[in-house]
Chains A and B, each alone.
Chain A
């Protein structure tokens, strides 16, 4: 009830009286014309530069569409069909080649065109509204902003437009667009199977059916990889958190000497690039690595420990080594928060006669959990996508004789293997989407229930 009200309020807060439908229904002829010729309304009302910018956007979009856009879009349904042709040239004693279609590029350009057009539509809506707005303002005899005033507002009322322009553009072009392209790949047969690396077609949901079918060779592995990914993420997150917290508390004890030195020892590992430290550990833990060599030499074991060669050992090893990687981060984080716990809470507990363990479970832990839930969720999702630790340490091994996914492969490393090593781009894309769905469910459900998210809602 309350939430709905809040929502209504928010909608109202940002409501815009100048709508496209308004322009269409109530606008004068110039406003209506500016539906076709962008910026016309602005130019007519002395906002010449603004109007010209709108017009320039429209023209560049049209030029783009005529030169490439319409062609790109028209190729999308078929994804190309012309094969590379070769002709024997006897005089030169060579085959001469004419390039054929390349479906992956057709797909990329097609998606890019739709994407550009979508952005254009946003600008178009904006221009129509803007034209309608100046018309109304002029009618009411109100002040119409000059270009200079518009520009100035970018540093004040519209500062967010100035500040967000760069970051949003970067994200749109280099994150969103590639992502959309990749998602579309999941609906094609772009794969080494059947030699579909140059020319491929749409196949609808076939790949999803395959991955979700437990009886299929790949599908069967999907569920086991998914299972291990979740187990891994839970263990990696929870253990890191608990041990990191205990360590921080121990170091922060009143009686611990040389706090800075201890913290330094643990934190120094962050400074070494992960791929270096992990590769070094991998070498150290090999059957002929230094750890086994030394243990054998001193007679502590009589057979090399199978750190990465036995499934159970490998799983435990990666979780333990991940502790080495992760605990310093938790330590840093928790140290800051520990110092923020109100001292009264501890004093009150002392008066009640609580011992250290009770204090921990009654005060420290609940406080930490309260404050750190968003961090934990980020950690959890980060661990599901923890490519480095698995890829560099175990490489997903050990792998069953007939499998593509190893016993320690996460969805994300499996995806890497399927696309980069095996060239099953379509299946890789499906797994990427599935990983995302798992993550999104976990993240949205938990995140929406955290205090900080709810506080956000009532902000201001």
Chain B
């Protein structure tokens, strides 16, 4: 008897549940078409928008302040905001599980773009919005949010790494070459992290998808030039003045003076300043001596951006908000409140040492982090290579073979037919 009752409940629960689930999506579709026809001038429309940002933006009040300002600037909408927490780097992991149930407007790191596009998570930007992006950002920043020839997010800051060093240990001249630095003090580098290790390979002429956009060219980390880098790295990890930077070892080292230079990004600025105080130095990347030649290390340059969900119920308002959050005023507020370096070229930040260093990196010591779908095959082999070198499993004897192996892995889909 009870079993029957329960089965009934179950069936009806399922029925209602699915009803509710499907109902929602139908509603949203209907709402879309209705709004398009109805929105007239002079009317205030109720809109609700969900916005995801990192916790820091909400804690400092930046996001709320900007959203409310947006609401005031647009009398045609009466927007109710819902805020959620999602760090830029985790956007793809959070969004891809349920795109429809994700925020209308969210922040993302640009390397999330290929995954987000492939799960229909980003709306393309066009018209006046696109013109604004192109007018206010450097070319490399624009290319960092362009995927398959479409701009899919509003950039607001660059995302790269550079060098922090202890001025009491290294002189301005020393920091031009990593090898000189290693003679004078302890240097920490995240060699087991694939976002960093490529700087060495890029230094010696290895390329990713040609200039970063030609998917068919593939990754070229093999051959003699790749092997030379691997050999260099084998020596590097054997150097007693080298410290691998993982799980915060670099910063901790700066603090107790067992490390004199680290490679990291703007997010560590406060911690480094606390550790080094007046002696904090910031600079673009040094050169490395590979095969007797001084070669310039080149970091990946990406951006952080604001994207719009194609499932947004009110696309017009969502797009407008995303543009507002990355507009000049918002970027300035972001910079003042959280030290987020603006990507907008009209904002002058030349009095800031870190901004200077980042500008230097962008201009001279970086390559655009490729935004092609095959880039997904780069990360694991590079990381495994770093780990193998660090573990001493790669030696001068097998460096060439291992490099070739890495290159092959980078150019094949692990699960392709």
Whether the complex brings A and B within 8 Å at their CB atoms is answered yes
**What's the nearest-Cβ distance from chain A to residue B233, in Å?**
13
Of A29-37, A86-94, A321-329, A357-365, the one touching chain B = A86-94
A239 at the interface (CB under 8 A from B): no
> A60-68, A224-232, A240-248, A264-272: which one contacts chain B?
A60-68
Given contacts A86-B310, A217-B412, A306-B392, contact A95 B8 (CB under 8 A): no
Q: In the bound complex, do residue B118 and residue A198 qualify as a contact, i.e. CB atoms below 8 Å apart?
A: yes
The answer, yes or no, to whether B376 is at the interface (CB within 8 Å) is: yes
A84, A94, A168, A198: the one contacting B319 at CB < 8 Å is: A94
Binds B, one of A120-128, A132-140, A178-186, A337-345: A120-128
Q: Please give, as numbers and ranges, the residues of chain B lying within 8 Å of A404 by CB-CB distance.
A: 380, 414-415
B7 interface residue, CB < 8 Å from A?
A: yes
- Also in contact, A150 and B36, with CB within 8 A (given A112-B14, A309-B391, A401-B406): no
Q: Mark A91-117, 1 if CB is under 8 A from B, else 0.
A: 011111111100000000100100010
Q: A144 to B35: give the CA distance in the assembly, Å.
A: 61
- Does B19 interact with chain A (Cβ within 8 Å)? yes
Out of B2, B4, B96, name the residue touching A423 (CB < 8 Å).
Answer: B96
- A54 and B415 contact, CB distance less than 8 A: no
The 8 A CB mask of B120-158 against A (1 = contact, 0 = none) is 100111111100000000000000000000000000000
Q: Which of A97, A192, A286, A422 contacts B311 (CB 8 A)?
A: A97
Measured in the bound complex, the distance between the Cα atoms of B14 and A8 in whole Å is 38
Known: A54-B4, A310-B393. A64 touches B10 (CB 8 A): no
Assess the B1–A217 pair: CB atoms within 8 A.
no
A-B contact count (CB 8 A): 202
Q: Which residues of A contact B96 (CB under 8 A)?
A: 197, 423
Chain B binder among A158-166, A254-262, A381-389, A449-457: A158-166
Q: How many Å lie between the Cα of A100 and that of B311 in the bound state?
A: 10
The interface-forming segment of A367-375, A392-400, A437-445 is: A392-400
A53 touching B8 by the CB < 8 A rule?
Answer: yes
B373 interface hit (Cβ, 8 Å): yes
Within 8 A of A (CB), among B243-301: 243-244, 246-247, 249
**How far, in angstroms, from A126 to B7 measured CA to CA in the complex?**
11
State which of B9, B18, B390, B402 has its C-beta within 8 Å of the C-beta of A64: B18
B413: CB under 8 A from chain A? yes
A81 CB within 8 Å of chain B: no
CB atoms of B310 and A402 under 8 A apart: no
Considering the chains assembled together, what is the distance between the CA atoms of A161 and B32 in angstroms?
48
A27 interface residue per 8 A CB criterion = no
The answer on a CB contact under 8 Å between A56 and B316 is no
Contact among A50, A165, A197 for B3, CB-based, below 8 A: A165
B73 adjacent to chain A (CB < 8 Å): no
A6 located at the interface, meaning its Cβ lies under 8 Å from any Cβ of chain B in the complex = no
Instruction: Kindly list chain B residues whose C-beta atoms are within 8 Å of the C-beta of A192.
Output: 115, 118, 376
- With both beta carbons as reference points, the residue of chain B lying nearest to A154 in the complex is identified as B2
CB of A424 within 8 A of CB of B1, answer no
Instruction: Give the Cβ gap from B20 to chain A, nearest Cβ, in Å.
Output: 11
**Across-interface contacts of A54 in B (CB, < 8 A):** 4
What residues on A are CB-neighbors of B6 within 8 Å?
165-166, 168-169
Instruction: Please give, as numbers and ranges, the residues of chain A lying within 8 Å of B28 by CB-CB distance.
Output: 99
Cβ–Cβ < 8 Å partners of A84 in chain B: 120, 310
Q: Is A446 an interface residue (CB 8 A)?
A: no
Minimum CB–CB distance from A339 to chain B (whole Å) comes to 41
For A311, the closest partner residue in chain B by CB is B393
State whether A401 touches B381 (Cβ < 8 A): yes
Question: By the criterion CB–CB under 8 Å, are A88 and B126 in contact?
Answer: yes
Minimum C-beta distance from B252 to chain A (A): 9
Chain A residue with Cβ nearest B100: A99
Given contacts A50-B1, A197-B96, contact A96 B36 (CB under 8 A): yes
Question: Could you tell me how many residues of chain B have their Cβ less than 8 Å away from some Cβ of chain A?
Answer: 70
Compute how far the CA of A151 lies from the CA of B244 in the bound complex, rounded to whole angstroms: 70
* Other-chain residue from B125, B243, B415 in contact with A288 (beta carbon distance below 8 A): B243
In the complex, what residues of B have CB within 8 A of residue A122's CB? 7
Q: Do the beta carbons of B127 and A94 come within 8 Å of each other?
A: yes
CB pair B128 A287 closer than 8 Å: no
Task: Flag if A401 contacts B316 (CB, 8 Å).
Answer: no
Instruction: Taking A93-B129, A423-B96 as given, write out 14 further A-B residue pairs in contact, using a Cβ cutoff of 8 Å, ordered by the A residue number.
Output: A64-B19, A88-B126, A95-B125, A96-B315, A99-B311, A120-B7, A158-B2, A169-B6, A193-B416, A195-B373, A288-B246, A398-B391, A399-B384, A399-B387
User: Can you list 19 A-B contacts with CB-CB less than 8 angstroms, sorted by A residue number?
Assistant: A60-B12, A64-B14, A64-B15, A68-B19, A92-B319, A93-B128, A95-B123, A95-B125, A100-B120, A158-B1, A161-B1, A197-B96, A197-B118, A288-B246, A288-B249, A400-B384, A401-B381, A402-B406, A420-B93
Interface of A toward B, CB cutoff 8 Å: 50, 53-54, 56-57, 60-61, 63-64, 67-68, 84, 86, 88-90, 92-100, 109, 112, 116, 119-120, 122-123, 126-127, 150-151, 153-154, 158, 161-162, 164-166, 168-169, 172-173, 191-193, 195, 197-198, 210, 217-218, 283, 286-288, 306, 309-310, 397-404, 418, 420, 422-424, 427
Using CB atoms and an 8 Å cutoff, list the residues of chain B in contact with chain A: 1-12, 14-15, 18-19, 22, 25, 28-29, 32, 36, 93, 96, 100, 115, 118-120, 123-129, 243-244, 246-247, 249, 310-311, 315-316, 319, 373, 376, 380-381, 383-385, 387-388, 390-393, 402, 405-406, 408-409, 412-417
Closest CB pairs A-B (n = 5): A402-B409, A93-B127, A309-B391, A64-B15, A97-B310
